[in-house]
Amino acid sequence: MPETGLVPAPQGPLTGLRVLVPRETEGPDPLVIALLAAGAEPVVVPLIQTVPPEDPTELDDTLLAVQAGYYGWVGVTSAAAVPVLEDRAEETGTPLVDLLADVRVAAVGGSTARALRSVGVRVDVVPTGQSSARTLLRAWPPVDSQPEPRRVLLPLGDLAADTLAEGLRSHGWAVDVVTTYRTVPGPMPEPETRQEWAAGAIDAVLLTSGSTARNLVDLLGPVPDGVHLICIGDSTAAEALRAGLRVSAVAVEQSPSGLVAALIATVTGALS
């Protein structure tokens, strides 16, 4: 089982709970940090992993078009796109921060904005509230208020819905979508992890996407009685329900702290 390398806080509203985190990050994970601050023990079991496209040619060509000034805007809807964009930009000979220097950049929410800023990219638009395509669409400036080129690049994952692209087109923007990463199931967990799961030794799962919901039972087996399933948003909850899972709560705010807050409310409500 992956180790977090951190020690849980001695006391907190989640003290004594072991909480499954369905992703593994290269650097500090805000979700792990938020759980530790609440006293929980994070159990990192990657239910998904993101990988570059099998053939990056289209993405590389699109980044060259960005460099040539073909796009006025780039909209990033997931932090998972950032390392792939950074890697492919380097392959084209221009660091991502330089590639996007003359382009306006929109991020779907705080986590994605932080990922972009961590590699030096300026972020011009970050909506408040839920991190969703609809929220970003509402925050996007009117096309008539923007200078040319009025063309938007959306570097999306292979499972992304067309909500943002179609919404922008309906508002008069020219939009191109390029597959930037693929979401695939995580590796099969260690037998020890599967045994602990089956024995009910994990108290809760934080589902961060529809893919994590779909892969939970495939990788770990049926959900034991009493396990709280907390979803980051309505679309994730809908996928969980379609997969036959019982959702305990949906985060009000689509963020690591929002997920943990939803778990705290569920647990304290269950214990009161």
Q: What is the DSSP string of 79-112?
A: TTHHHHHHHHHHHHTS-HHHHTTTSEEEESSHHH
% the chain with pLDDT above 70: 94
Average pLDDT over residues 133-154: 95
- pLDDT for 1 equals 47
What does the pLDDT read at residue 189? 96
pLDDT at 7: 53
Residues in the chain: 272
Query: What are the C-alpha distances in Å from 14 to residues 1, 200, 203, 216?
Result: 21, 17, 10, 22
- Averaged confidence pLDDT in the chain: 92
Stretch 26-30: mean pLDDT, rounded? Answer: 77
Can you give the pLDDT at residue 10? 57
Looking at residue 6, its pLDDT comes to 54
Average pLDDT over residues 102-119: 93
High-pLDDT (> 90) share of the chain, %: 79
CA distance 247 to 238: 9
Cβ atoms within 10 Å, residue 28? 11
Q: What is residue 158's predicted lDDT score, i.e. its pLDDT?
A: 94
**Rounded to the nearest 5°, which phi and psi values hold at 256?**
-55, -45
Q: What is the dihedral of CA 39, 255, 214, 167, to 10 degrees?
A: 180
The residue among 8 and 108 whose pLDDT is bigger is 108
What's residue 211's pLDDT?
92
DSSP 8-state class, residue 223:
P
Range 75-103 average pLDDT: 95
Question: 249: which 2 tokens?
Answer: 């709560």
Which positions ≥6 away from 55 have C-beta within 8 Å?
A: none
- Return the C-alpha torsion angle 57, 61, 63, 66, nearest 10: -160
CA distance readout (Å), 2 to 15, 25, 44, 88, 224: 20, 11, 6, 28, 21
| 2 pLDDT more than 60 | no
Looking at residue 250, what is its pLDDT?
96
The residue with greater pLDDT, 7 or 172, is: 172
Q: Where does the pLDDT of residue 200 fall: very low under 50, low under 70, confident under 90, or very high at 90 and above?
A: very high
Q: H or E element: which one contains 116?
A: helix 110-118
Report the C-alpha gap between 77 and 243 in whole angstroms.
Answer: 24
pLDDT at 3 over 60: no
The predicted model scores a pTM of 0.80
